[in-house]
Amino acid sequence: MHTLPQQLANGLFLGSMYGLIAIGYTMVYGIVQLINFAHGEIYMTGAFGALAIYTNLPSSLSIWAALPLMLIGGALVSVVIAVGAERLAYRPLRNAPRLAPLITAIGLSLALQQAVFNWYPDAKSGKRFPQLPGGPFHIGSVDVQSGDLFLLGAAVICMLALGIFVRSSRTGRAMQATAQDPDTAKLMGVDTNRIIIIAFAIGGFFAAVAGLASGLKYGQIQYNMGFQAGLKAFTAAVLGGIGNIYGAMLGGLVLGIAEACATAYIANVPGMEQFGGGAWAQVWAFVLLIVVLLVRPQGLLGERVADRA
């Protein structure tokens, strides 16, 4: 269906996934000024972790009963990899030239891809992922699948929980202090290493939620799914204002809606037929980013230092 409400809904669901991944990018950047380009692979490993749990559960167990266990399994895999990457790969390079952690992140990304490919040799063509029963649900002229509802609900719950955590908890305030001035925060008794690990862990958890939701939505996962999703999520983080957690989700939603509408409608514009369709979805995402940054270089919400964590 190419109705405008349907495309807006498709963009909303897609943007929610981008936003969940983008929060991991923006939290880490807001605290340690590091672009973790391996974050897309953390999202991918979360999806495969959830699938590994599901395949080892009794076949008589329903998907609804398995869902919490899949989330826990995927989250454990993603969080362990994210925290391990910070402790073993990024922390030793914290005071090194910025190119060093960037190259390390790219290398880690490729290593994680290859590790999953070797563990699941048939993952190149896609591993089948269980889907939630029910649907499609018809809301006016919009068709919604059960996986879409899970994705949207998970994004809303995660974003609300993160906002409350950052604003109201002692650790959240320590994250804000570390993001604003890590040296002063350390002098005030804040354990900045612990705060950085928490930021990586939260980003890993959100990536795992996105990985699980992606599998439920599309019905399959691939070993290289993290590269493209990670690139889009990084674009969303920059679009919303890198370092701003609310901007990351807003950027994801804007990017998702723009991508869905451009893919559906540009092919119908006379003379633009060759620029529509899924193959051009990646291009229009970056066109939007360039236009926004030309008009507003700091992103849609800018970089609010107090909320960068």
Q: Cα separation of 297 and 113, whole Å?
A: 33
Cis peptide leading into residue 136 (ω within 30°): yes
Percent pLDDT > 90 in the chain is 45
pLDDT value at 307 more than 60? no
Give the number of domains in the chain.
1
Place of tokens 């230092």: 305
Residue 232 phi/psi, 5° resolution? Answer: -65, -40
243 or 87: whose pLDDT is higher? Answer: 87
Q: Which domain holds residue 182?
A: 4-261
Residue 304 confidence class, pLDDT cut points 50, 70, 90: very low
Q: Quick one: pLDDT at residue 134? A: 77
Q: Quick one: pLDDT at residue 181? A: 86
pLDDT, the chain, mean: 86
Residue 282 lies in a domain: no
H or E stretch covering 142: strand 142-144
Q: Quick one: pLDDT at residue 276? A: 53
Residue 280 lies in a domain: no
User: What would the mean pLDDT of 213-229 be, rounded to a whole number?
Assistant: 91
CA distances from 228 to 10, 38, 44, 185, 222 (A): 18, 12, 11, 36, 11
Q: Quick one: pLDDT at residue 86? A: 93
Other Cβ atoms closer than 10 A to 5: 12
88 or 282: whose pLDDT is higher? Answer: 88
For CA atoms 157, 158, 159, 162, the dihedral sign is positive
User: What would the mean pLDDT of 272-290 be, rounded to a whole number?
Assistant: 67
Residue 72 lies in a domain: yes
User: What would the mean pLDDT of 259-268 be, rounded to a whole number?
Assistant: 72
Q: Quick one: pLDDT at residue 19? A: 94
pLDDT value at 203 more than 70? yes
User: What would the mean pLDDT of 114-122 be, rounded to a whole number?
Assistant: 84
Q: Cα separation of 98 and 91, whole Å?
A: 12
Which residues pair with residue 137 across a beta bridge? 144
Q: Quick one: pLDDT at residue 309? A: 44
Residue 253 lies in a domain: yes
User: What would the mean pLDDT of 67-74 be, rounded to a whole number?
Assistant: 94
Residue 306 lies in a domain: no
H or E stretch covering 144: strand 142-144
Residue 275 confidence class, pLDDT cut points 50, 70, 90: low
User: What would the mean pLDDT of 169-175 be, rounded to a whole number?
Assistant: 91
Residue 308 confidence class, pLDDT cut points 50, 70, 90: very low
pLDDT value at 180 more than 70? yes
Residue 218 lies in a domain: yes
Specify the CATH number for the domain of residue 187: 1.10.3470
Residue 239 lies in a domain: yes
pLDDT value at 238 more than 50? yes
Which tens digits make up the pLDDT trace of 71-108? 999 999 999 999 999 999 999 988 888 888 889 999 99
pLDDT value at 299 more than 70? yes
What are the DSSP calls for 196-254, one per residue?
HHHHHHHHHHHHHHHHHHHHHHHSEE-TTHHHHHHHHHHHHHHHH-TT-HHHHHHHHHH
Residue 33 confidence class, pLDDT cut points 50, 70, 90: confident
Residue 279 lies in a domain: no
Cβ atoms of 37 and 44 within 8 Å: the answer is no
Report the predicted TM-score, pTM, of the whole model to 2 decimal places.
0.89
Q: Quick one: pLDDT at residue 188? A: 87
pLDDT value at 41 more than 80? yes
CA distances from 303 to 99, 206, 236 (A): 22, 21, 14
